[in-house]
Amino acid sequence: MRAVLEQLEARRAQARLGGGQKRIDA
């Protein structure tokens, strides 16, 4: 389960850096 949280965090960081062009609702 920790892997899932890590993936979510990584995705959030990437979305923030990318400018949020993808859905960041989660």
Q: What's the one-letter identity of residue 3?
A: A
pLDDT value at residue 6: 94
Q: Report the candidate in 21, 20, 26 with the shortest Cα–Cα distance to residue 5.
A: 26
Distance between CA atoms of 7 and 4, rounded to whole angstroms?
A: 5
> Where does residue 5 rank: exposed (0-12), middle (13-18), buried (19+ CB within 10 A)?
exposed
What are the pLDDT digits (tens) for 1-26? Answer: 799 999 999 888 887 776 656 665 55
pLDDT value at residue 13: 84
Chain centre distance of CA 10? 5
pLDDT value at residue 17: 72
How many helices (H) and strands (E) the chain has is answered by 1, 0
